[in-house]
Each structure stands twice: as structure tokens, then as C-alpha cells.
Amino acid sequence: MTSIFSRIIRGEMPAERLFETEHELAFLDRHPKAPGHTLVVPKLEVAAFDALPPERAASLAATLQTVARGVTRAMGTGHYNLVLNNGERAGQVVFHVHFHIIPRYEGDPFLERGSSRSLPEVAAGIRAALRALPQSERVPGRVPED
């Protein structure tokens, strides 16, 4: 069965897309735990991280670094959680590998869901920060237009 993330990758479902490489896509979580909560997914649909071919896992890690830099700069915090739920008992709900980048703020209740800022507003800020990253701090990829 095709995951919701594969449908987003193919453009069949809307998402606030932030960054895209040949092998990965980053977009805002529709149910953010904090402003700027971002998902980074491989375009290859596999359920478990250890099922990714090693070269795709390495590519995903490099893209995670780039996107985390953009997210944290846009959101004004150098603090974030990087979360992977691998398997049902670990809390995985969508069985397509995905990492969460969850910015953290002073006084922020750990993992409390919610944000008062709109997804398009947050996405525009993150896309601007990603465009501003020096080439030395990012992998080759495309930032969609606002």
C-alpha cells in the first residue's frame, strides 16, 4: 500500500515543501509538536530505517544536516530533537521511513503538540533560511518557491 508520504512526494497530496534532493523531500509536519516541526523522508518507500540501502541512508543523513540547519536558523534556536520512530512499538504510524526535526525553545514543554503560527508562515521562513545557507553547509537540492 502506498504511504501518505509517497503521495506527498508525487504531488498527489498538499504539503508545505521545504527542500528536495534527488532522493529526499523535507516538508512541515501537519500536526506540529513545535513551530518548525519538519519531516525528512526518503523518496524510496521503505518502512524501516535499516531497510534503506546504505547509500540512501548516507544521503538521508546529509540531507537531515542541511534541513536541520535551515530549520534552526529560521526558527531562531539551535536546539532540536531529531526523532525516528522505527516500528509500531516505537510509535511509528506511517510506515515510510521519516525523521522528525523538532525545534526546541526556552520554556517549551518537551513534546507538547501545537503551534500558534500557520504552516505557510513557518514554511516561508524555513525556505528563506535554506536559500541563505552557504554552499559549504548544504547538500545539492532545490528549495521550492513560496
What the block records as the C-alpha cell of 57 is 541512508
> Is residue 135 helix, strand or coil?
helix
Length of the chain: 146
Residues 117, 48 contacting (CB under 8 angstroms): no
Instruction: Enter the C-alpha cell of residue 33.
Output: 509538536
Q: Is 96 a catalytic residue?
A: no
DSSP state of 89: G
Distance (Å) of CA 140 to CA 55, 84, 137: 16, 23, 10
Q: What is the dihedral of CA 75, 120, 38, 71, to 10 degrees?
A: -30
Q: Which of the following is catalytic: 31, 79, 98, 100?
A: 98
Residues labelled as active-site residues = 98
